[in-house]
Amino acid sequence: MEIFEGYIFTALCSTNFLISCLLFSQITREQREPYMDEIFHVPQAQKFCEGKFHEWDPMITTLPGLYLASVGLIKPVVWLADLTGKVVCSTAMLRFINTLFNCGNLYLLYLIVCKLHIKDKSRAAWRRVLTALSLSSFPVLYFFTFLYYTDAGSTFFTLFTYLMALYGSHKAAATLGVCAILFRQTNVVWVGFCAGTVVAQRMDETWLAEQTKKRDQRMPTVPLSVSGAKQLARFLWEFATAPANLAAVVTATWPYLLVAVGFAGFVAWNGGIVVGDRSSHEACLNFPQLFYFLSFALLFALPVTLCHQRVLRFLQSLRRRPLLYLALTAAALLLVWKFTHVHRYLLADNRHFPFYVWQRVYQRHQLVRYFLVPGYVFAAWTFVDTLLHGRSLFWALAFSACLLASTVPQKLLEFRYFIMPYLLYRLHLPLAPTRRLLLELGLYTAVNAATIYVFLHRPFQWPDSTAVQRFMW
């Protein structure tokens, strides 16, 4: 069975790579020159290819992980083929680096799925392969495998970090986490998540030991009562203040703590998390970003999560606890009212899809953002209901904390910021039936086809510019 699964996966990898190469060729032929953020990334990578590591474009806001990886991959080709760096470090070759990262992402996703769903190993080979293939074609991520952006490489090293953490190789995970941070500084959150899973496991063991003493061997569940919340709060406080627990946590997570200390030192030295131009990357408390992500996750996970039984259970939960949902709705309304921030790019740059989402939904009327709150509540309930399936409460708390840290401080509504939290969420869902996975893959394929078609064949021009503009994520 494992050999057969390996053959299937290898065949699908080869097919995926062939299709990606054909799309890459078409996109590069239509858009030869650097586009959007590539006008900063490509020249900077070319400087690194020429050995000019001290020259830096101040408009670039991320660390040089993408350029270092590009040089590390391209330079051996230059030496072996005896070519000139200028020719090899062309826009097309630099973009092709991300196509290679896409292949790596597919393989890592498959390995993570196998590790997370190891109990289903004997009966779910086809579903594991389909899950990995579907997630590797996740539209927002897949589109940027054809442009020279940081997303594909950032996702690769973050997934690699998590895979090593799942196998207990925490020193390797921390080292790969540094690589992920070099691609995008906010990946420090997901390095923290890897440490959080270790802490959550320790909490699970301590909780189980306490429940065993009380002759109650049940694992923690979501506390939907005041007494349950008090019990959880008391446990967390006792766990955090117990020297033995602190010593065990530090011993288990010290590689991640070293990364955290190093990152804190970088932030102090740099004067902030952003390098280069900081004027457009100001942190704020934009709590509705969490609601946008939950809606985004609900939409893209729809083929594998939504069913009439889940809708009925939500309605039953609503009927059983009306006061709870009323309080949640009121809290969400307050957060939307007081903490909605709109970045100027969202209102001005009509090349990105979020511009049209905001213009045609949120700007239709000033009350629309409040009318959407019940939908946010349903999206949040679905997210929690699916996330807790087979996962402990403490693991879910660790993931939720990292989700908040990765979304709320972002002022700009940018779907690319949702790639990593969505993939981690989706990876931890139970393996869906084959027909649902095929539906998910079909949805992602249709969205990819539409976005690539629009990018290639629906260019436009601004009134005050002769440059060709294209629609993109």
Q: Convert the pLDDT of each residue in 50-74 to its tens digit.
A: 889 999 988 899 999 999 999 988 8
What span, in angstroms and rounded, lies between the C-alpha atoms of 115 and 163? 8
pLDDT exceeds 60 at position 221: no
User: What average pLDDT does the chain have?
Assistant: 89
- Rg of the Cα trace of the chain? 23
Average pLDDT of the segment spanning 349-368: 93
**Confidence band for 277, pLDDT divided at 50, 70 and 90:** confident
| pLDDT score, position 34 | 93
pLDDT exceeds 60 at position 95: yes
**Confidence band for 219, pLDDT divided at 50, 70 and 90:** very low
What span, in angstroms and rounded, lies between the C-alpha atoms of 218 and 211? 7
Ordered alpha helix ranges (H), 144-215:
151-166, 170-183, 188-213
What span, in angstroms and rounded, lies between the C-alpha atoms of 355 and 347? 6
| pLDDT score, position 436 | 94
Average pLDDT of the segment spanning 148-161: 97
pLDDT exceeds 70 at position 222: no
Contact criterion met (CB below 8 Å) for 453 and 143 = no
**Confidence band for 218, pLDDT divided at 50, 70 and 90:** low
Average pLDDT of the segment spanning 444-472: 93
| pLDDT score, position 439 | 95
pLDDT exceeds 50 at position 176: yes
Write down the residue that tokens 């993939």 correspond to: 423
| pLDDT score, position 122 | 54
What span, in angstroms and rounded, lies between the C-alpha atoms of 259 and 192? 9
Residue 124: CB atoms within 10 A of its CB come to 21
Distance between start and end Cα atoms, the chain: 39
| pLDDT score, position 210 | 72
| SS3 category, 469 | strand
Contact criterion met (CB below 8 Å) for 346 and 355 = yes
What span, in angstroms and rounded, lies between the C-alpha atoms of 38 and 42? 5
| pLDDT score, position 121 | 57
What span, in angstroms and rounded, lies between the C-alpha atoms of 108 and 72? 20
